[in-house]
């Protein structure tokens, strides 16, 4: 009996349609809301959900070694197909033994489909037809063609465990007719993605996520959710959710999730901030990827926990470049237990940033990612203990109440 067969047999929750090497087990369903604890089983190990998936755009989380990422306890990371396609190219990564071997990260990995970057980075240099997308490289302006089939082939060469169908990512403010036309194309592309994926995934070494689109129209989100449910994919992503206005985004995700099968893992693409995570976990989102903690780290925005003054109003952040930290002998976040906070002061990290020292990027990134890892650990714990509401109260509601109180107070003065 092969290892693969053993693994799938040992998982009692295995669904018929799932590839042999992959399964998603829901280990606890919250009674208060749709939040759940789960495990995504992959050939490279398990992902405990709800999880935050750090972004390793070009096969590296900027400034960190895989050892440092592993030390923080992350189960999984996500790389960008568009970037890797252009540099170093999928052939190089395939020859290097596929992405995990190439970058020495031996745990589960995601790649996105390239769709988002094609549209966001190529901008006006990108032309779309129903059959394909033509775009210019943001690196050397060379012209490239991408199709759903090609996205699948590239992601096959890259070799991540969990990959995404090729979709058209649309401006969230597009009007109804534009969004409707785009959605029709996306659904067609997703069908083509599944066909190509089934053809080339001969060893079941990868699993596919479909993607729900539909812009800012709940009706189209519903249509998309229903369509994606018909596809034989392992998981489902929700795309083009851009955070603000928060109420509208939450409504769109809520609506999409209502029409998606409970047993599949759900990924919210490109999200999230701290409050995003507290909004979407109770709706049933299992995984999030976002460049926020890593990108913000590199410009000096440091996440801080509620115990240290982090709240919705300050977006749980301080700006370490602020002169007031020049002589501050406390850690970035006194309540944090990461490598950075147990070894260095704000004063030192302020100095590194002002000196544009490379170590600044490393230490700030370690801290910000550790912040999100611990947040997800606490969220998992709270789902386990049926105390999610209490955790949310500590992180989110208290601040919102305070903001309301202040508003009232100020209006009375």
Active site residues: 112, 289
Taking the mean position of all CA atoms in its chain, how far away is CA 257?
A: 17
Min. distance of Cβ 301 from a second copy in angstroms?
A: 17
- With CB under 8 A as the contact rule, which of the stretches 14-22, 89-97, 159-167, 314-322 interacts with a second copy? 89-97
Name which position in 6, 263, 343, 407 contacts a second copy (CB under 8 A).
Answer: 343
- Residue 331's CB: how many other CB atoms inside 10 A? 21
Nearest-5° angle of CA 306, CA 315, CA 111?
105
Which residues 295-324 are close enough to bind a second copy by CB under 8 A?
Answer: none
Closest approach of Cβ 80 to a second copy, in Å?
Answer: 12
From the list 183, 155, 184, the residue with the least C-alpha distance to 169 is: 183
Cβ(305)–Cβ(316) under 8 Å?
A: yes
Among 329, 408, 410, 411, indicate the residue that binds a second copy (CB under 8 A): 329
Binding a second copy (rule: CB under 8 A), the pick from 88, 308, 335, 378 is 88
H-helix segments, 201-345: 218-230, 246-258, 274-280, 292-298, 339-343
Binding mask 57-86 for a second copy (x = CB under 8 A): -xxxxxxxxxx-------------------
Positive or negative, the CA dihedral 143, 119, 163, 187 is negative
For residues 41-60, which are near a second copy according to CB under 8 A?
58-60
Report the residue from 74, 209, 288, 361 that binds a second copy according to the rule CB under 8 A: 361
Q: Considering beta carbons, is residue 28 or 62 the nearer one to a second copy? A: 62
> Is residue 326 a contact point for a second copy (CB under 8 A)?
yes
Instruction: Give backbone dihedrals phi and psi of 285, rounded to 5 degrees, phi first.
Output: -75, 135
Q: Name the residue nearer to a second copy (CB basis): 181 or 344.
A: 344
**Nearest-10 crossing angle of helices 218-230, 176-200:** 20
Length of the chain: 413
Binding site for a second copy (CB under 8 A): 58-67, 87-88, 92, 95-97, 102-104, 326-327, 329, 339, 343-345, 347-348, 350-352, 354-355, 357-359, 361-363
């Amino acid at each position: 009996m092969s290892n693969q067969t053993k693994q799938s047999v040992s998982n009692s929750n295995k669904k018929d349609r799932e590839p042999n090497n992959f399964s998603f087990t829901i280990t606890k369903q919250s009674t208060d809301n749709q939040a759940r604890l789960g495990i995504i089983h992959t050939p490279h190990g398990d992902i405990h959900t709800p999880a935050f998936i750090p972004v390793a755009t070009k096969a590296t989380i900027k400034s960190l070694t895989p050892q440092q990422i592993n030390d923080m306890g992350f189960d999984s990371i996500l790389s960008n197909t568009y970037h890797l396609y252009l540099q170093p190219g999928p052939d190089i990564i395939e020859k290097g033994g596929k992405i995990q071997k190439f970058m020495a990260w031996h745990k589960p990995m995601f790649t996105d489909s390239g769709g988002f970057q094609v549209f966001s980075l190529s901008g006006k240099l990108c032309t779309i037809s129903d059959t394909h997308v033509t775009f210019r490289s943001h690196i050397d302006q060379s012209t490239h063609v991408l199709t759903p089939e090609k996205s699948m082939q590239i992601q096959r060469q890259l070799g991540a465990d969990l990959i995404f169908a090729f979709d058209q990512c649309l401006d969230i403010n597009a009007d109804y007719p534009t969004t409707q036309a785009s959605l029709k194309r996306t659904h067609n592309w997703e069908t083509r993605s599944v066909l190509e994926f089934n053809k080339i995934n001969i060893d079941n070494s990868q699993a596919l996520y479909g993607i729900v689109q539909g812009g800012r129209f709940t009706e189209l989100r519903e249509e998309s959710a229903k369509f994606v449910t018909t596809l034989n994919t392992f998981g489902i992503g929700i795309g083009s959710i851009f955070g603000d206005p928060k109420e509208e985004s939450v409504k769109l995700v809520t609506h999409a999730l209502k029409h998606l099968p409970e047993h599949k893992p759900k990924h919210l693409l490109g999200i999230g901030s701290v409050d995003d995570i507290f909004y979407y976990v109770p709706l049933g989102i299992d995984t999030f990827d976002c460049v926020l903690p890593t990108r913000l780290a590199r410009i000096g925005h440091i996440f801080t926990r509620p115990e240290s003054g982090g709240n919705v109003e300050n977006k749980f952040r301080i700006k370490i470049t602020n002169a007031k930290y020049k002589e501050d002998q406390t850690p970035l976040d006194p309540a944090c237990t990461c490598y950075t906070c147990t070894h260095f002061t704000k004063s030192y990290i302020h100095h590194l940033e002002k000196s544009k020292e490379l170590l600044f990027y490393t230490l700030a990134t370690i801290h910000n990612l550790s912040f999100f890892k611990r947040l997800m650990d606490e969220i998992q714990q709270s789902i386990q203990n049926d105390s999610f509401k209490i955790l949310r109260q500590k992180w989110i509601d208290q601040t919102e109440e305070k903001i309301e109180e202040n508003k009232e107070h100020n209006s009375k003065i």
